Structure 1
């Protein structure tokens, strides 16, 4: 039965977005790039891996744009020389238009110097010793290979490192799904709830034991502790499981950072969280009822 439940759970996960889709911003909260970064930063302390991968990917996109512009400029020069008169033979209005077109296109052009600066910035930020976000996870041989190749205007020098970092990100993916698909609370929220829950239970138990040892009659006076006990059980169970049933069932939200929320837009994630919320809520009510029955059933004895 456990194997069947586990296989069913894993089958459901196949309907969720993949790491590739999240990295390409093709998914919706809470399984999205923003939440992935938050989990890597706050729970796993591996956000540098994602920063590096995104920076290299952006450099690759910029380099493709640079190559495309080089080709376009070459083709335009050839066509201009062969088919168009020289600027000196143009009329005053045509020369002015030609100058304005060149000036308007200049700011959007990616130059070789710009590309070299982008590649160097990645090197200085992640690869050199004591860098701002030094990639300690990269093997030393891989970092040395990047240094030995030398930097140019092409981010291809980081290809091997980017693939290696992608494998490390894949290793973190199951943990991310655990935190954002099966939970809707942050780590700080969980810890805070456990502490508040224990404190509230202490208050509730103190009230109940006081009523028992003072032998208050009739017995229904002992229901006075129901509020702190229910609140304490709710905080404690939600903190331990990472699921707040009210936030899911009533507001359809998942916490990103403490008391900041995303709406749950992935249908499969909502389905899973709703099921877990019903279970958590049922457990909270059951534990509260059992505790109150025990406290009400114990005969009073004035000390």
Structure 2
């Protein structure tokens, strides 16, 4: 499942975990899109997240390849039995032993618990073992040829559509991918990850320990492997790095506040300007001994200053929080859809608004009631 049902999300009376965010089981403003923007604009380490997403997509390609191959072999079983080919019989036996491959989001290999997760890990291990045993140079895989021949026997109205599989999320919408996945696609996906993120001096190299990167390079370039287990250790390291270094700040910014850093700084500037105008006006009316109905005008700059100052301090806009909006990028607001996050933000917005009210009231009362003097 890519998504929990909305009732399950409502019952989740806690903040989400990183795996739930990466698995697209959360809603705005703690969804994967928000986390991507946070990693890009604030952490400046979006390459780590892109690496994770590409590895997840690679896992989806592998699962779809094996599912398609299994389906096509089962369709062609009578012809395989007639041929009596030892290779065909081996393929059929391996696919039968492999079982059905669950289409679930790829996660950290050693961090999931429970019976179902143990079954998913075992399925992933069987999948990698099958792909290793089936490893052939790109374009010369007997399995790929077998799959192509079997697909030709499937009626045209039962074949997968031509829509391309662009993200792992799309893999969960159906039991079949958008297009037929061939073995060269898996090889190309593994090489793309290697050449984009892992090779020293690559286009978007992620900083990783050498003892993790060197085995991956050897397995792909020297051993010709492209199964998902190739990236397991690197994927787990990247997950732990994001969970330790980036995710707490993400929750702090999105679950306990609704402003981006640039907006926070802008509010500090407005608060300082308003406080400057408010104090100038307050001292003017006191030193000129103005009547109290004129002094009441100092309430306006103090209210504005207090509101923006508390917004800066707590990184939350109370009015927008009450309206149910959070800021993705500067002045770009989107609805808050995660129920628990909305409750948290409403509580913090109430506390922030009360703080701003008391600060403004205290300053206003002080300068309205203080005895005046004529200079």
Q: TM-score, normalised by structure 2?
A: 0.67
CA-CA distance at 1:104 after TM superposition: 5.9
What CA distance in whole angstroms lies between the structure 2 residues aligned with 1:268 and 1:106? 39
Q: Which moved more, 1:108-117 or 1:280-289?
A: 108-117
Partner SS, residue 21 of structure 2: helix
Q: 1:163 aligns with which of 215, 228, 236?
A: 236
Contact kept, 8 Å, 1:113 with 1:153, in 2: the verdict is no
Greater helix share, structure number = 1
Q: Which residue of 2 aligns with 1:9?
A: none
Moved over 4 A (4+): 81-84, 97-100, 102-107
Partner SS, residue 204 of structure 2: coil
Query: Structure 1 residues 174 and 14 mapped into 2: Cα distance closer, same or farther (>3 Å)?
Result: farther
Partner SS, residue 329 of structure 2: coil
Q: Which residue of 2 aligns with 1:207?
A: 281
Q: Which residue of 2 aligns with 1:145?
A: 215
Partner SS, residue 52 of structure 1: helix
For 1:94-109, what aligned pairs fall within 5 Å after superposition? 101=156, 108-109=179-180
Contact kept, 8 Å, 2:13 with 2:340, in 1: the verdict is no
What CA distance in whole angstroms lies between the structure 1 residues aligned with 2:201 and 2:272? 43
Contact kept, 8 Å, 1:66 with 1:111, in 2: the verdict is yes
Query: Structure 1 residues 147 and 99 mapped into 2: Cα distance closer, same or farther (>3 Å)?
Result: closer
Query: Structure 1 residues 135 and 150 mapped into 2: Cα distance closer, same or farther (>3 Å)?
Result: same
Contact kept, 8 Å, 1:36 with 1:176, in 2: the verdict is yes
Q: Which residue of 1 aligns with 2:267?
A: 193
Q: Which moved more, 1:23-32 or 1:70-79?
A: 70-79
Contact kept, 8 Å, 2:271 with 2:305, in 1: the verdict is yes
Q: Which moved more, 1:177-186 or 1:14-23?
A: 14-23
Q: Which residue of 2 aligns with 1:5?
A: none
What CA distance in whole angstroms lies between the structure 1 residues aligned with 2:353 and 2:282? 23
Structure (1 or 2) with the larger CA radius of gyration: 1
- Number of equivalences: 277
Q: Which residue of 2 aligns with 1:76?
A: 75
Q: Which residue of 2 aligns with 1:29?
A: 28
Q: TM-score, normalised by structure 1?
A: 0.82
CA root-mean-square deviation = 2.7
Cα deviation digits, residues 192-245 of structure 1 (max 9, x gap)? 1111111111111111122223332x1331122221221111011111101111
CA-CA distance at 1:286 after TM superposition: 0.5
Q: Which residue of 1 aligns with 2:346?
A: 274
What CA distance in whole angstroms lies between the structure 2 residues aligned with 1:129 and 1:153? 19
Query: Structure 1 residues 32 and 128 mapped into 2: Cα distance closer, same or farther (>3 Å)?
Result: same
Q: Which moved more, 1:68-77 or 1:160-169?
A: 68-77
Q: Which residue of 2 aligns with 1:87?
A: none
Q: Which residue of 2 aligns with 1:298?
A: 370
Partner SS, residue 276 of structure 1: helix
Partner SS, residue 150 of structure 1: helix
CA-CA distance at 1:174 after TM superposition: 2.5
Query: Structure 1 residues 105 and 226 mapped into 2: Cα distance closer, same or farther (>3 Å)?
Result: closer
Q: 1:243 aligns with which of 295, 301, 316?
A: 316
The answer to whether residue 197 in structure 2 is matched with residue 126 in structure 1 is yes
Structure 2 gaps of 5+ residues are 1-10, 84-151, 163-178
What CA distance in whole angstroms lies between the structure 2 residues aligned with 1:247 and 1:99? 55
Query: Structure 1 residues 272 and 45 mapped into 2: Cα distance closer, same or farther (>3 Å)?
Result: same
CA-CA distance at 1:16 after TM superposition: 2.6
What CA distance in whole angstroms lies between the structure 2 residues aligned with 1:139 and 1:147? 13
